[in-house]
Amino acid sequence: MTTTPPTAPVASRPAPDRIAAAGTALARAVQRVTASALGPYQSAVIRIGFAATYLFFLVRELPHRHELYGPDSPWHWDLARQLTAGNEAFSVLLWSDSVLWFEAVYALTVLSAAGLLLGWRTRTMSVLFMVGVLSVQNRSVFMGDGGDNVIHLMAIYLVLTRCAQVWSLDVRRAARDAERDALGLPPRRDAVGPVLWAVLGPVLLGATLMGGLGGTRWLPVLLWILWLSAAAWWAANRFAPGGQPRALLDVLANLAHNATLLVIMIEVCLIYATAGWYKIQGSRWQDGTALYYPLKLDYFAPWPALSDVLASSGLMVMVLTYATVIVQVAFPFTLFNRRLKNVLLVIMIGEHAGIALLLGLPFFSMAMIAADAVFLPTVFLVWLGGRAALGRRRLLGWLPRRSRSPEAGGPQEVPTARSAPEERDGTGEAPQHGTGGGHTLVG
């Protein structure tokens, strides 16, 4: 009598409905990432925050600009040339040691920061802002602190984001064009964008041929891609506004924006994680006395009486020292819990506000708060934008009213930037109209 040998167990296979569900979820994720630029309010806050931080810094240092980054700097122009020749850094201030050239670059950096803050021609302003930040910081690398390093990185990242979808003049211009289109009127001719593109093109070509873009390869490649893509955007919007080339450019821009936003989030997590873990290794952080020493330094004591009061309490110093380490180490692990993440965000923003007040580092604190904004909840940012709009309307209501009728020659009322949830499209993001949102060099 023969026995049937036992059959090998058959590996369990997923049910067809599970495969279909996984495919549907993947398709939705791909559609979400390619069809819209995520985090419009977060990216707008990052744009406004970093542009305001560097603008205020440049304005504050206006009387001392020559000693910090100009011809009177202790770090002489020849020394800066030797350093950049070794580390292949980029700075247009090293193209010439002329005082007039320095003043022109400094003024252009101030204007680009102001334009980026307002969201005017945002793509162009973001490129000029990046060039200005890299040029000024690389001219005298020993003048900065940790906040300057964050601004340095974010200035590069902002170039790749669609950070003017809300709270920008570009959105207002797009709203005007949409209003004219609804009335059956042709769009107003844009002369500023093509002029900027035509002027910056020869400058980029000359800098490339003369080797003035530093020793790295990524910077000239990035600048040329941005300049050429601006022409592609203009051609698509001019000749095929609803065609496949326009849709393809939108998808590529959304992918670049979303990937860059993810990089910014990872960057912020790395900043806090590395800072926290390095603090753990320090003996002063381990015994809870680290905060005491900067409070007793005259250089970090803008309010000596307040610093002395805080430093005189051993318990308060120990609590703040340990709390700083715990918050920085724990923050990256709280991102999967929304409520806990929001609590730590409030604590970290308060911590940076305290650093600005107690240690006299306002621009470092502004830069870190702007970086933290990438994790702020959208509901809070929408509410904040609504409060700001309400305050603006009340302020304008106190001013003398002007005639706004077309017959009187006054400006017509234009819909403001979309900031309320009900004004967004079905994807949950701010709608994009043509070249609105500042995603092209020419519009």
**DSSP string for residues in 363-427:** HHHHHHHHHHGGGS-HHHHHHHHHHHHHHHHHHHHHSPP----GGGTPPPP-PPPP-SGGGS-TT
Give the up-direction half-sphere exposure of residue 11: CA atoms within 13 A in the CB hemisphere.
2
Give the rounded percent of residues in the chain with a pLDDT score beyond 70.
86
Structure tokens at 195: 């002029």
pLDDT of residue 394: 84
Q: Is 360 helix (H, G, I), strand (E, B) or coil?
A: coil
**Residue 438 · residue 122 · CB < 8 Å:** yes
Closest CA to 54 of 123, 97, 106: 106
Q: What is the pLDDT of residues 199-222, one digit of tens each?
A: 999 999 999 999 889 888 999 999
Closest CA to 436 of 197, 175, 124, 45: 175
Return all residues near 187 (Cβ < 8 A) that are at least 6 apart: 177, 180, 181, 434
The amino acid occupying position 312 is S
Q: Residue 426, class by beta-carbon neighbours within 10 Å (0-12 exposed, 13-18 middle, 19+ buried)?
A: exposed
Give the helix ranges, DSSP H, for 217-243. 218-239
Q: Residue 256, class by beta-carbon neighbours within 10 Å (0-12 exposed, 13-18 middle, 19+ buried)?
A: middle
Neighbours of 68 (CB within 10 A): 16
pLDDT of residue 4: 57
DSSP symbol at 95: S
Residue with tokens 């204007």, as numbered in its chain: 111
Q: Residue 226, class by beta-carbon neighbours within 10 Å (0-12 exposed, 13-18 middle, 19+ buried)?
A: buried
pLDDT of residue 429: 36
Structure tokens at 246: 């326009």
pLDDT of residue 265: 95
Closest CA to 349 of 334, 330, 332, 371: 371
Structure tokens at 346: 């409030």
pLDDT of residue 208: 93
With b meaning 16 or more CB within 10 Å and e meaning fewer, what string describes 277-305?
eebeeeeebeebebbbebbeeeeebeeee
pLDDT of residue 23: 76
**Residue 428 · residue 37 · CB < 8 Å:** no
Q: Dihedrals φ, ψ of 238, to 5°?
A: -85, -45
Return all residues near 296 (Cβ < 8 A) that are at least 6 apart: 307, 311
Which residues does the chain have with pLDDT short of 50?
403-443
Q: Would you put residue 211 in left (φ > 0), alpha (ψ -120 to 50) or beta?
A: left
**Residue 55 · residue 151 · CB < 8 Å:** no
Closest CA to 165 of 67, 254, 264, 34: 254
pLDDT of residue 427: 32
Q: Residue 98, class by beta-carbon neighbours within 10 Å (0-12 exposed, 13-18 middle, 19+ buried)?
A: exposed
DSSP symbol at 169: H
Structure tokens at 348: 């970290």
Chain length of the chain:
443
